[in-house]
């Protein structure tokens, strides 16, 4: 009987440890897109300077780009030190250039496909914007400490209806083939829906003592957005979506802890009563 009780107590304690570990593993939130399948946004190109290629198509002033959401994938986002900041959904879109489909169910931020990371849809909600602000602040601090990096601007600004993200970075590499690259990014997103409203992207590279020079520039603005105006979740729903798993884990841990305590107390209470009865009998 004693061995069975000890095994039960050990199992309970292991369950407590597993519950705590599950809580730690799930601490990174997952931010989901506000837009849903078949929502779309259309943009007109205001400026296209240099060899501005988009999915093997040259962009020019006046071109129209339409992004239709067809799916999404979830990807981890890391802090500068490599730790996990959060997970976020990234859109997979069908893309149309002047009415012609040029890509199907693709990510617009794939390395090697698009030099300029154009993302028409991002998650939305106060929790996501807060996490993104912390991430940008951390990168701002880290980049400013790099000897070969000059940061003009790296910040997230918030208004009542919009989120503005601005970055201006110049990077210098030495060695046998010295190069200087500058990167500028200035985008405005709708605060409620996470839909890109205006975007400005610029990359310039000087290499081999300026024998090689490349410049890419793109500026666009939204002209038409088709998205269901869904109501934002209530404060309680938003809280439960983000912290519900923690609450469940905490409740399970509390129940397990109380059960374990009760089993231990019951065991020693019986032992105490038995000893008291023995003492009374001997007296």
pLDDT of residue 267: 59
Confidence (pTM): 0.70
Query: Mean pLDDT of successive 10-residue segments in the chain (283 residues)?
Result: 45 41 60 94 91 85 94 92 93 95 86 58 94 93 88 92 93 75 90 94 77 77 77 51 55 53 55 57 61
pLDDT of residue 23: 42
pLDDT of residue 239: 53
pLDDT of residue 93: 95
pLDDT of residue 260: 52
pLDDT of residue 191: 94
Write the secondary structure of 140-187 as one string of H (helix), E (strand) and C (coil).
HHHHHCCCCEEEEEEEEEECCCEEEEEEEEEEEECCCCCEEEEEEEEE
pLDDT of residue 111: 45
Q: Which residues contact 152 (CB under 8 A, 6 or more apart)?
A: 168, 169, 170
Q: Tokens 């809280």, residue?
A: 239
pLDDT of residue 248: 57
pLDDT of residue 249: 57
Domain boundaries, the chain: 2-26+238-282, 35-229
pLDDT of residue 51: 78
């Amino acid at each position: 009987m004693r061995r069975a009780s000890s095994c039960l107590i050990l199992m309970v304690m292991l369950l407590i440890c597993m519950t705590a570990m599950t809580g730690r593993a799930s601490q990174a939130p997952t931010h989901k897109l506000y837009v849903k399948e078949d929502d779309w946004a259309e943009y007109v190109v205001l400026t296209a300077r240099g060899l501005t290629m988009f999915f093997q198509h040259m962009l020019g002033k006046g071109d129209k780009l339409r992004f239709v959401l067809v799916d999404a994938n979830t990807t981890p986002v890391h802090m500068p030190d490599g730790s996990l900041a959060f997970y976020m959904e990234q859109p997979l879109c069908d893309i149309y250039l002047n009415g012609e489909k040029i890509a199907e169910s693709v990510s617009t931020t794939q390395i090697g496909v698009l030099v300029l990371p154009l993302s028409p849809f991002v998650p939305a909600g106060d929790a996501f914007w807060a996490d993104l602000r912390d991430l940008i602040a951390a990168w701002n601090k880290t980049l400013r400490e790099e000897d070969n990096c000059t940061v003009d601007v790296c910040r997230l600004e918030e208004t009542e209806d919009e989120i503005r993200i601005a970055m201006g970075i110049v990077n210098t590499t030495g060695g046998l083939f010295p190069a200087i690259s500058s990167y500028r990014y200035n985008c405005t997103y709708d605060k409620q829906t996470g839909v890109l409203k205006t975007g400005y992207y610029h990359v310039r590279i000087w290499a081999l003592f300026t024998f090689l020079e490349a410049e890419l520039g793109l500026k666009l603005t939204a002209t038409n957005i088709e998205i269901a105006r869904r109501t934002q979740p209530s404060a309680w729903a938003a809280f439960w979506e983000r912290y519900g798993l923690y609450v469940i884990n905490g409740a399970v841990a509390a129940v397990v802890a109380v059960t374990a305590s009760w089993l231990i107390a019951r065991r020693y209470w019986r032992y105490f009563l038995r000893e008291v009865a023995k003492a009374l009998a001997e007296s």
